[in-house]
Amino acid sequence: MKITDAGKKVLEENPPFIDDEYLKGFAGYRKFHNLEPDPNVQRVDPSRDNNLKIEFTPTEQMEKSFSEINQSLADDLLDEVLKMKENPSRFEKFVVDLMVQIGYGAMEYGSHPTRPTGDDGIDGVIMQDKLGFDLIYIQAKCWGKDKTVGQPDLQKFMGAITGKHGSGLFVTTAHFSDKAIEYAKTSHLILIDGEKLAKLMIESNFCVSVRKTFQIKDIDTDALNEYLEE
Convert the pLDDT of each residue in 144-190 to its tens digit: 999 999 999 999 999 999 888 889 999 999 999 999 999 999 998 99
In a domain, 224, yes or no: no
99 lies in the same domain as 147 = yes
90 lies in the same domain as 182 = yes
In a domain, 151, yes or no: yes
82 lies in the same domain as 130 = yes
b/e burial code for range 89-127 (CB count within 10 A of at least 16 → b) = eebbbbbbbbbbeeebbbbeeeeeebbeeeeeebbbbbb
Pick the residue with more confidence: 44 or 13? 13
In a domain, 19, yes or no: yes
C-alpha dist (Å) from residue 23 to 36, 50, 167, 173: 13, 20, 56, 49
Instruction: Name which of 17-26, 72-81, 91-100, 212-221 the model is least confident about.
Output: 17-26
The residue among 175, 71, 170, 59 whose CA lies nearest residue 121 is 170
Give the per-residue pLDDT at 43: 52
C-alpha dist (Å) from residue 168 to 125, 191, 192, 201: 9, 9, 11, 20
40 lies in the same domain as 74 = no
pTM exceeds cut of 0.75: no
In a domain, 94, yes or no: yes
The residue among 195, 157, 185 whose CA lies nearest residue 78 is 195
pLDDT tens profile 196-208: 999 999 999 999 9
33 lies in the same domain as 89 = no
Q: How many helices (H) and strands (E) does the chain have?
A: 9, 7
Residue 5 pLDDT grade (very low, low, confident, very high; cuts 50, 70, 90):
low
Give the per-residue pLDDT at 112: 45
89 lies in the same domain as 161 = yes
43 lies in the same domain as 141 = no
Domain containing residue 154: CATH number: 3.40.1350.10
Please give the distance of CA 116 from its chain centroid, rounded to a whole number: 32
Kindly tell me if the per-residue pLDDT of 38 is higher than 80. no
Q: How far apart are CA 43 and CA 206, in angstroms?
A: 51
Number of domains in the chain: 2
Residue 35 pLDDT grade (very low, low, confident, very high; cuts 50, 70, 90):
low
Average pLDDT for residues 12-34, to the nearest whole number? 64
Please give the distance of CA 183 from its chain centroid, rounded to a whole number: 21
How many Cα atoms are found within 13 Å in the side-chain-facing hemisphere of 221? Answer: 0
In a domain, 161, yes or no: yes
Bridge partners (DSSP) listed for residue 170: 139, 191
In a domain, 60, yes or no: no
76 lies in the same domain as 167 = yes
In a domain, 226, yes or no: no
Pick the residue with more confidence: 82 or 23? 82
Give the per-residue pLDDT at 57: 84
87 lies in the same domain as 32 = no
Residue 110 pLDDT grade (very low, low, confident, very high; cuts 50, 70, 90):
very low
What's the domain range around 101? Answer: 68-203
Kindly tell me if the per-residue pLDDT of 141 is higher than 60. yes
In a domain, 170, yes or no: yes
96 lies in the same domain as 178 = yes
